[in-house]
Amino acid sequence: MSMFKKVLLAASTSMLAFSTFAADATQVEQKFEIKDGSTVYIFKDGKMGMEDKLGRPASMKEGVIMETKDGQKIMMKGNEVWRVDRLLPNRYQGQ
């Protein structure tokens, strides 16, 4: 098998892994709808994943704060999500 074919095979395998990412509802502990249309999943093992508004897996830098549609704020932090409402001063209240 040529190197090119191997690379293609590896790519399609990882695509497959990605496509099952959101489907495994049994492993999802919590799900947040983000205001921009993306979705953050917290899995039962504590890991997190993010899906953009088109349903594609998305990555995000650590420390980025996202606001959910219902106004909660969560932060990307390694494999954990920190709910930053409690950590930040109440400067967002009252709008």
| DSSP assignments along the chain, one per residue | --HHHHHHHHHHHHHHHHHTTTT-GGGEEEEEEBTTS-EEEEETTS-EEEE-TTS-EE---TT-EEEBTTS-EEEEETTEEEEGGGTS-STTTT-
Instruction: Please identify which residue in 41, 42, 49, 50 interacts with Cu ion, judged by CB under 5 A.
Output: 50
CB of 58 to Cu ion, least distance (A): 7
* 74 near Cu ion, judged by CB under 5 A: no
Nearest distance in Å: CB 64, Cu ion: 6
Question: Can you tell me the distance from the alpha carbon of 20 to that of 1, in angstroms, rounded to the nearest whole number?
Answer: 27
* Residue placing its CB nearer to Cu ion in the complex, 8 or 64: 64
> Based on CB atoms, which residue is closest to Cu ion, 42 or 76?
76
Interaction of residue 60 with Cu ion, rule CB under 5 A? yes
Q: Whole-number minimum distance, CB 66 to Cu ion, in Å?
A: 5
How near is the Cβ of 25 to Cu ion at its closest, in Å? 19
Tell me the CB-side half-sphere exposure of residue 31, using CA atoms within 13 A. 13
Query: Applying CB under 5 A, which residues contact Cu ion?
Result: 50, 60, 66, 76
